[in-house]
Amino acid sequence: MSTRDFDEQQLPLQQLSELLWAAAGVNRSYCGGRTVPSPHGEAVIDVYAALPAGLYRYDPIHHCLALKRAADVRSMTGFQDFVGMAPLDLVYVANHGRMQDVPPKLRETFAAAAAGAMVQNVYLYGASAGLGAVVRGWLNRRQLAEHMSLSEDEEPILSQTIGRPAPHHRAPV
Ligand SMILES: Cc1cc2nc3c(=O)[nH]c(=O)nc-3n(C[C@H](O)[C@H](O)[C@H](O)COP(=O)(O)O)c2cc1C
């Protein structure tokens, strides 16, 4: 279920940690395998977290956030009114430089499939934790890439807003 009406309240760090792990974390320490499938086992999608304090890249190996920009870029991740107001926007960035082994005609499809698996894990985690989420393809990719200081090889392909649903949208308990 997609949610488009959020509380502005920040997410507890524990939930932020768990949802990033669900999106892209390591779940097999012996081989570094991830919670999501990826073409040839190559992590072709990076997950960025746009928070009020800044833009961070999720580092799955160390399970930590690396500061990319000390700026609030949430409102740049899309056009809808809740964007920039909800506590967290994830941005899924395809790294074309890591798809050299994928035939060019398949790269877009494979990147979309890999990001789709991540997005769905976050939806499922959100449902289990009482959080709402919506994946968004309505974004200005070029402008967002500039605000995120991405390289030529990197392309933001999807965003996803997550937060507590506004009170009148919460499921009865
Ligand atoms: C690839 C993709 C892009 C989407 N882009 C947007 C978007 O830009 N904005 C939005 O509000 N919802 C977006 N959605 C969410 C769909 O509108 C939503 O999943 C659909 O209406 C079904 O509703 P449900 O998720 O509540 O079942 C997108 C979904 C997908 C799969």
Where in the chain are the domains? 13-166
Angle, alpha carbons 19-53-59 (nearest 5°)? 45
If pLDDT is split at 50, 70 and 90, which confidence band does 79 have?
very high
**Ligand 1 atom 3, closest CA:** 137
* 13-166 maps to CATH 3.40.109.10: yes
Q: Which two tokens stand for residue 99?
A: 């798809």
Distance of CA 45 to the CA centre of its chain: 9
d(Cα 45, Cα 65) in Å, to the nearest integer?
15
pLDDT over 90 at 145, yes or no: yes
Q: Which of 135, 169, 168, 164 is nearest to 47 (CA)?
A: 135
Query: Is the shortest distance between the CB of 37 and ligand 1 below 6 Å?
Result: no
pLDDT of residue 170: 67
Query: Is the shortest distance between the CB of 136 and ligand 1 below 6 Å?
Result: yes
Computed over every residue of the chain, the mean pLDDT equals: 96
pTM for the structure as a whole: 0.96
Number of Cβ atoms within 10 Å of the Cβ of 144: 21
Strand 45-51, strand 33-34: pairing:
unpaired
Tell me, in angstroms, the distance from the centre of ligand 1 to residue 136's CA: 6
Query: Is the shortest distance between the CB of 127 and ligand 1 below 6 Å?
Result: no
Residues for the chain: how many in total? 173
* Secondary structure string (H, E, C) spanning the chain: CCCCCECCCCCCHHHHHHHHHHHHCEEECCCCEECCCCHHHCCCEEEEEEECCEEEEEECCCCEEEEEECCCCHHHHCCCCCCCCCCEEEEEEEEHHHHCCCCHHHHHHHHHHHHHHHHHHHHHHHHHHCCEEEEECCCCHHHHHHHCCCCCCEEEEEEEEEECECHHHCCCC
**pLDDT per residue over 10-49, tens digit each?**
999 999 999 999 999 999 999 999 999 999 999 999 999 9
**pLDDT per residue over 107-144, tens digit each?**
999 999 999 999 999 999 999 999 999 999 999 999 99
pLDDT of residue 39: 93
